[in-house]
Amino acid sequence: MTHRIVIVGGGAGGLELATRLGKTLGKRGTASVTLVDANLTHIWKPLLHEVAAGSLNSSEDELNYVAQAKWNHFEFQLGRMSGLDRAAKQIQLAATLDENGLELVPARTLGYDSLVISVGSTTNDFGTLGAAQNCLFLDTRKQAERFHQQLLNHYLRAHAHHDQDSQISVAIVGAGATGVELAAELHHAAHELAAYGLDKIKPQNMRITLIEAGPRVLPALPERIGNPVHKTLEKLGVTVLTGASVSEVGPDSLMTADGKVIPASLKVWAAGIRAPAFLKDIDGLETNRINQLQVLPTLQTTRDENIFAFGDCAACPQKGTDRNVPPRAQAAHQQASLLAKSLKLRIEGKELPEYTYKDYGSLISLSKFSAVGNLMGNLTGSVMLEGWLARMFYVSLYRMHQMALYGTFKTMMLMLGSRIGRGTEPRLKLH
């Protein structure tokens, strides 16, 4: 009987793994490979801040799962995982409904021999009063597009009513990579919107406040990266508040623990992560306090060798430390590459390799204004980058993701098409 591999979650890691396995095991008939996701299309999550600001048109950069499956010899199933039966080796998929609540795809079960869970993470609001009700989040394309539409509505309203020198205040909670990059991208969007004639809100009248509970911006990255980023943001006019923990969020403002009130018509929560709630102790699997599945260095779950987990939804021990592998895109990419080999070895009955995290550095984009980061390698050590060169390396990360999915030739064609389209499309999404 053909070995059944089911991958739940079509994010960067899950989609790369399904594509790799489809091209090898699926094409040869060694295994059947099935990818499950609740959406029909994929967009690279690190780009969501650009979707929110309107710098990126998500409909042009999305990938269709059905087409990708056809081209790469795997099957795609539309659905959201809702349960697990380890004894029967089955997952449960909830019914998929349309926007009117009508059933598109019924609830069903799906059998597996090897199950891989790569459902990513969602933002963690830490139970902060009013955050869930009054903040926008940037976990999905739909959420990013909702933010963009609300931003655009402010501009259109001011333009239609001829409100001279109207203001818009944006508060971003969390000065990690998402919060920092969104702040810079919004500053760029303010200038672009004014250039297209929506100038009743002047660029200087978009008041952006970045709020971080820790002592500095980019707390997870080296201080030598965070310091120049902080300075650049302040030069752009972004108000950066560090050591400021948000205690409550209202409809039109936020309040910090020390009683400071920050007015904001748009509020984005970008602080902290947690794995999806449905994973919490699912059918007896071991999870941690933020719902991540505990895995061994082989990426197998601690209580079931038939189930693997990787990426943000997995708590994987980092060799040589008492910490887990950080929830970063490069870790998910490395783990997907390892699992592509591991699952082949598993079918052959061979011993599985262990994962060792390799830190290749960090890059932070500050829109068109700058980029900052460091690259790490065996030959070069740690090299600090800033400005145009750092920006080019940042862009190359997305191209590498595309190459993993499409191959070199198709990626080159996408790059060419993008360059040609620049002259016929607005620099910012205006709808």
Q: How many CA atoms lie within 13 A of 36 on its CB side?
A: 25
Q: What is the pLDDT of residues 204-254, one digit of tens each?
A: 999 999 999 999 999 988 888 899 999 999 999 999 999 999 999 999 999
Token look-up 């902290």 returns 272
**Residue after which a domain boundary falls, among 246, 271, 296:** 271
Residue type for position 95: A
Give the whole-angstrom CA distance, residue 363 versus residue 395. Answer: 10
Residue 3: what are its φ and ψ, rounded to 5°? -65, 130
Same domain, 245 and 162: yes
Residue 93 CB partners (closer than 8 Å, separation 6+): 36, 77, 79, 80, 81, 82, 107, 108, 109, 110
Give the whole-angstrom CA distance, residue 209 versus residue 288. Answer: 32
Same domain, 307 and 384: no
Divide the 431 residues of the chain into consecutive groups of 10 and give the mean pLDDT of each group: 95 96 96 97 91 85 93 97 97 93 93 98 94 95 94 89 82 95 94 88 93 94 89 95 96 94 96 95 96 98 98 94 91 96 97 94 84 68 70 80 86 78 67 70
The reply to whether 428 falls in a domain is no
Same domain, 380 and 335: no
Same domain, 149 and 266: yes
In this predicted structure, what is the pLDDT of residue 390?
76
| 3-class DSSP string for the chain | CCEEEEEECCCHHHHHHHHHHHHHHHHHCCEEEEEEECCCEECCHHHHHHHHHCCCCHHHHCEEHHHHHHHHCCEEEECEEEEEECCCCEEEEECEECCCCCEEECCEEEECCEEEECCCCEECCCCCECHHHHCECCCCHHHHHHHHHHHHHHHHHHHHCCCCCCCEEEEEECCCHHHHHHHHHHHHHHHHHHHCCCCCCCHHHEEEEEEECCCCCCCCCCHHHHHHHHHHHHHCCCEEEECCCEEEECCCEEEECCCCEEECCEEEECCCEECCHHHCCHHHCCECCCCCEEECCCCEECCEEEEEECHHHEECECCCCCCECCCCHHHHHHHHHHHHHHHHHHHCCCCCCCCCCCCCEEEEEECCCEEEEEEEECCCEEEEEECHHHHHHHHHHHHHHHHHHHCHHHHHHHHHHHHHHCCCCCCCCCC
Token look-up 């409550």 returns 248
The pair of structure tokens assigned to 405 is 């999915």
Same domain, 237 and 109: no
In this predicted structure, what is the pLDDT of residue 419?
72
Closest C-alpha among 189, 209, 52, 35 to residue 112? 35
In this predicted structure, what is the pLDDT of residue 428?
73
Same domain, 264 and 148: yes
**Residue after which a domain boundary falls, among 254, 271, 288:** 271
Number of domains in the chain: 3
Give the whole-angstrom CA distance, residue 297 versus residue 310. Answer: 10
The reply to whether 431 falls in a domain is no
Same domain, 194 and 139: yes
The reply to whether 354 falls in a domain is no
Same domain, 114 and 143: no
Q: How many CA atoms lie within 13 A of 401 on its CB side?
A: 25
Q: Which domain holds residue 333?
A: 3-121+275-347
Same domain, 257 and 329: no
**Residue after which a domain boundary falls, among 271, 297, 317:** 271
In this predicted structure, what is the pLDDT of residue 421?
64
Beta bridge partners of 377: 381
In this predicted structure, what is the pLDDT of residue 373?
80
The reply to whether 126 falls in a domain is no
Same domain, 225 and 260: yes
Give the whole-angstrom CA distance, residue 226 versus residue 209. Answer: 17
In this predicted structure, what is the pLDDT of residue 395?
78
- Determine contact, residues 338/300, Cβ cutoff 8 Å: no
Sign of CA dihedral 329, 330, 334, 337: positive
Same domain, 308 and 369: no
- Return the CATH number at 226: 3.50.50.60
In this predicted structure, what is the pLDDT of residue 317?
95
The reply to whether 309 falls in a domain is yes
Same domain, 267 and 161: yes
- Determine contact, residues 18/10, Cβ cutoff 8 Å: yes
Q: What is the pLDDT of residues 98-139, one digit of tens each?
A: 888 899 999 999 999 999 999 999 999 999 999 999 999 999
Give the whole-angstrom CA distance, residue 342 versus residue 123. Answer: 30
The reply to whether 427 falls in a domain is no
The reply to whether 256 falls in a domain is yes
